[in-house]
Structure 1
């Protein structure tokens, strides 16, 4: 009897080892080889990949060289600096080429017609790859940004109400209040003879304050603690993703992994305290809803739809709100302020429009839609400095896209920055700051996609634009500002496009 059990266990063990071995060989060798051959038959080639690391070392070397020096002047020609591998390989292999992030093959796609078709029609059979999900696992988890398939559809349905109609209007007052507090801080800085400020710090703190209040309501102080931890966690996770191509790297007991797990644990402890207090309040009858903030709306939607409360998912959505709702808006505001500070003509033009629309009073929600010049400036800022350089999607099924056959397992990477800076699409003045190019609201679909496109577009884009307009309108009506001589133009990428040394501007308060 004992021998039979031992033989059975041995068979199970051998089968398991064989399966793990086959899956590993398939993942690291067979599947990439199949995809490479399929694409070569269509004439799509690229740089030769190294074993395991693919083209990661080549990309790192090109990027290290390109960002080693700050720019001599404020030049918006940033593609060679931030996407040097795209420039090198597109020149060598053409508009379509394939490169390797470790063992993950990536097809670079720049044709706007195909991009539009891919994002609009194939969202249900494409999404985030395993490597992308693992790279952000400890940072934002499997919230809406990283979910796929039915999970994504379910989460989008749950999250969408928080960014629509009356719910969206409810955040307006908090945005105005927080912005007034920032403007007072800037006034105090000026009165203490500090007329030069690093505006990025102020805008980052402001957007963190707004998302903490709109997401957590009265618990916003705890929300600020979460923000600081998530900011550190983002940097650590970005550093750790470099090693993901090595099997089991996420389990290595190195400094990165230890710090990441420790910070994730602390973030989730703070989130659980906020969520549990909401649950307790409803369960004992003290409140009939979980609250009017983003967290409360999410919990109410789950309850309304009869779903059980998946606490990990709720925490992942909260972290996603923080990253997507704070980080990208802070950078949009920082880059736009830099552009206005170095272009006084457009700064005056926006200020005159704000004065005409607001008539010297506090802004109202209805007035925001009348700020057409400001919207043009924001669009041009997002064209020149989009929140992300690339838009990734992996094909979960074989896809036919125009004359292109995309096999299952191939990631499609859309270089947003390169498309936004394409001379072919935008003209010879593509690297100039010219908001008037957005005077016409109709332009070629697929060439301007800062919030992506199709069903998987950014659910919070209306929230972000509303917040951006409020802050910029209030800032420009209280202060004039010029770019400081100390400003060094040095965009870098850490998941998002950031100014390496911040943005220093010189402020001057305006007469009421």
Structure 2
């Protein structure tokens, strides 16, 4: 591919935005607050109501996420946005409350358990292929289809066989909540106290209550029904206990963590798949190479869990899609003690951001960083661990990372083995981040059987 052939990306800020400019940018596309120098420098600092720092230096990131993790809890803004929906679950809990939940949930995502759930992923991939076939030569929004596909997976592996579980209702509630509550408030930008109500979160209260009630009912029904032949995520969590304290999760803790897995476990993988398909349509040579690999490995029409380890190039495409379009484009922490990062003073209360989007495109860390080159990941040991953080790192690395990668490879391989994907002229995706980095105008492609 030539140097000029670069897939869609976000224009970064070339001049200071100020408080109101930053607020407007944050409410329309959070990535547009990133200064262009963030892809060329190890650190950028400023003040927009509160002191903030963006770090793109792998050593400083390691310090924050691993070496001094207790001194950099998740930011107040992150917690304020998500706590109404997912409580003090794994994603936002801190300290001892986080540690016991992590110890309890970690076995749920063991390699054995994730492999046991692979048939659900294969079945969802097959249903997606059937929908694509039924569409004929019409263009399809693959963002919509991948969201449907991954939500099928997460609902089936979370509440399998639960006839009373209304997955569509939960899906609608999640979308409604993100649309209202996911936008940054001026009160957050100014660093005002948590007890001052944020209007968007007040408006979303009804849908949150409905979502929680549906999950509570399903948990109660499972307790009465008991475990199925192959335990799903709910079975495993119900059976789980902290090996140190022997504590088990009560209904509200189960519900909050299950909703965390549902929220985080379907949209992020759907986005990865939608961007992967766009990139394959963007570069037909990559697509042809991936299809040849898939067709040589898959026996029959659908990839399985056993195939994943034999699909290294398709895994590289997924890795490169996560580099160019990380679902969590920015993660933020709040400093609790005095510290020094990249020779700059950090004070208690400062916001420390790791702009994953800028980190993954930093010219100091990546060759031709805006280009689509899956072969960057042919030797993963050559990639600096703290230069590539699609799932975060340190003790708070995403607990479902292996689940997500397995799912993405199974679905992508199944689709590439069966179809050729082409761009629709004039309908390029528009990368926009509110809570996650979405192709805001969809990913419109045509699919031709091969």
Instruction: State the TM-score, normalized to the length of structure 2.
Output: 0.88
C-alpha deviation, 1:226, in angstroms:
1.0
C-alpha distance in 2, partners of 1:276/1:265? 16
Unaligned runs of 5+ in 2: 1-14
Number of matched pairs: 432
Compare 171-180 and 115-124 and name the one that shifted more: 115-124
- Which residue does the alignment assign to 1:99? 46
- Counterpart contact for 1:290–1:297, Cα < 8 Å: no
- Which residue does the alignment assign to 1:111? 57
Aligned-CA RMSD value: 2.8
- Which residue does the alignment assign to 1:313? 253
- Counterpart contact for 1:139–1:234, Cα < 8 Å: no
Unaligned runs of 5+ in 1: 1-46, 50-54, 68-80, 282-286
- Counterpart contact for 1:179–1:471, Cα < 8 Å: yes
Change (3 A) 1:167 1:241: farther
C-alpha deviation, 1:353, in angstroms:
0.5
Which of 212, 222, 225 pairs up with 1:278?
Answer: 222
C-alpha deviation, 1:235, in angstroms:
1.2
Change (3 A) 1:100 1:171: farther
Over alpha carbons, which structure has the higher Rg? 1
- Which residue does the alignment assign to 2:114? 168
C-alpha distance in 2, partners of 1:48/1:431? 23
Is 1:139 the counterpart of 2:70? The answer is no
Cα deviation, 1:71-108, whole Å, max 9, x if unaligned, reads xxxxxxxxxx863433267599x643333464x43221
C-alpha distance in 2, partners of 1:359/1:291? 24
SS at match of 2:433: strand
Query: 5 Å matches for 1:374-389?
Result: 374-389=314-329
Which of 426, 429, 444 pairs up with 2:366?
Answer: 426
Compare 121-130 and 330-339 and name the one that shifted more: 121-130
C-alpha deviation, 1:294, in angstroms:
1.0
SS at match of 2:270: helix
SS at match of 2:33: helix
- Which residue does the alignment assign to 2:183? 239
C-alpha deviation, 1:316, in angstroms:
1.4
SS at match of 2:319: helix
C-alpha deviation, 1:131, in angstroms:
2.7
Cα deviation, 1:316-358, whole Å, max 9, x if unaligned, reads 1111101110111010000000000111101110010111112
Is 1:125 the counterpart of 2:71? The answer is yes
- Which residue does the alignment assign to 2:234? 295
Larger RCO (alpha carbons 8 Å, 6+ apart): 2
Change (3 A) 1:326 1:471: same
- Which residue does the alignment assign to 1:87? 35
- Which residue does the alignment assign to 1:206? 149
- Counterpart contact for 2:39–2:358, Cα < 8 Å: no
- Counterpart contact for 1:175–1:467, Cα < 8 Å: yes
- Counterpart contact for 2:157–2:232, Cα < 8 Å: yes
C-alpha distance in 2, partners of 1:83/1:306? 43
SS at match of 1:138: helix
C-alpha distance in 2, partners of 1:253/1:290? 45
- Which residue does the alignment assign to 2:415? 475
